[in-house]
Amino acid sequence: MTSLKDRIGQLFIVGFEGASISAFHPIAEDIIEENLGGVILFDRLLAKKLTTNNIVSASQVQELTGKLREMAGDLLIAVDQEGGRVSRLARLEDFPDIPAATVLGEKGVEQTRQAARRTASALRSLGINFNLAPVADLDLFADNPIIGRYGRSFGRNPETVFRHCLAWCREHRDCGVLSCLKHFPGHGSSKDDSHLGFVDISESWEEKELQPFANCIEAGFDEAVMIAHLFHRGMDSELPATLSAPLISRKLKGELGFRGVVVTDDMQMRAITDRHGLPEACSMAIGAGADLVIIGNNLEHDPQIFVKLRDRIVRDLEDGKLTETRIEDALSRVLTLKQLIKE
C-alpha cells in the first residue's frame, strides 16, 4: 500500500447497487483497482425507489460477501443491524428477530447479551463483519424523530445504556464481528432528523449524553464510534460534530481517550449536503479527525462517487489543506481495526 491513492482509499466505506457483482461492477473496480476500504449493504435503494438491493436472501448475501472478500480479504462489510425497526436483514427468513433496544433495556442486560450473540453469529455466517450498532444515545425525548420514536435507545439512564452497549459490543467481538457506538455526542435529545436537514442540539443536549460513550471507552472498547451530524454551538460555534476538530480530535480522541476508529454517519444525509458540498465535507471530516467516511450511495446514487471523493482528498493533501500526519493516523486506526476481524 505505497501509493497515496491506495492509502486514502482505505478511509472510505461506500454503498453500491445490486444483489450480485461481477469483476466489472463499479464497486469491484473500486475494491480491486482503487483499494476501497469497505462497503455497506442495504435492503433497499432509496435513490432509485427500489424495494430490494443488496439483501434478498441468506444464500444470496453469503455469495455476495464471499465475492467481496475474494477481492479484498480484509474488506469491511458493514450493515445497520440494531434490531427492532432498524434491521436491514429482517427480510431474511431465518435471521433472528431481535427486539428494539428500548424493549431490551427494560428486560435487562442478559437479554441484550443473548440478542447480541444471536445477531453477531448470524452476521458472521452471512459474511458481514461490521455492525453499525449499538445506539449509545439516551432516550431523552419520546418524540425524537430518529431515536425515541423508533425505540432505538436502551433507556434514559446513562449507566443502563452503558451496560447494555458494552454487553452488545463484547458479544459481537466474541463472534468476530466489529461494533460501532453511535451517535456521538448524543442524538437522543434532538428534535429533528439529520437525514432531512440541519439539527441543532444546543438547547436540548445534556452533558450526561456523553456518559455511555465515555464509560464504554474506559471499559476498553476500542473499535468504532460514529460521529453524528449534530450542531451544538457550545462545542463548536460554526460546524456540526462530523466536521468539528474540537468534538472529534479534542473531546472524543483527546479527553475521552478513544483509540479506535471514528466513523462518520452517512455523508449524503441532508444535514451535511444542505450546507456543504459533499467532496468538501468529506475532506473537512477527515481533517477534523474522522478516520472512516461512510458514503451510503443510497439517498443519492453515483457509481463513480468513491473515486471522485478520493481524488478530492488527494488534491487537498497535495494543496496542504490536509496533512500527511492526519492521513497516516486515520489509516493506522483503520488497519488496526481490520486486524480484529482476522483474530
Active site residues: 195, 265
Q: Which H or E run contains 185?
A: none
Please tell me the distance from the alpha carbon of residue 124 to that of residue 108, in angstroms, as a whole number.
25
**Furthest CA-CA distance within the chain:** 54
Residue type (1 letter), 6: D
Return the closest-CA partner of residue 284 out of 252, 253, 238, 251: 238
Any residues with CB less than 8 A from the CB of 20 and at least 6 apart, and which?
60, 63, 64, 67
Cell 447494555 sits on residue:
164
Structural contact between residues 256 and 214, judged by C-beta atoms closer than 8 angstroms: yes
Structural contact between residues 225 and 262, judged by C-beta atoms closer than 8 angstroms: yes
Calculated CA dihedral for residues 27, 40, 247, 245, nearest 10 degrees: 0
Structural contact between residues 186 and 194, judged by C-beta atoms closer than 8 angstroms: no
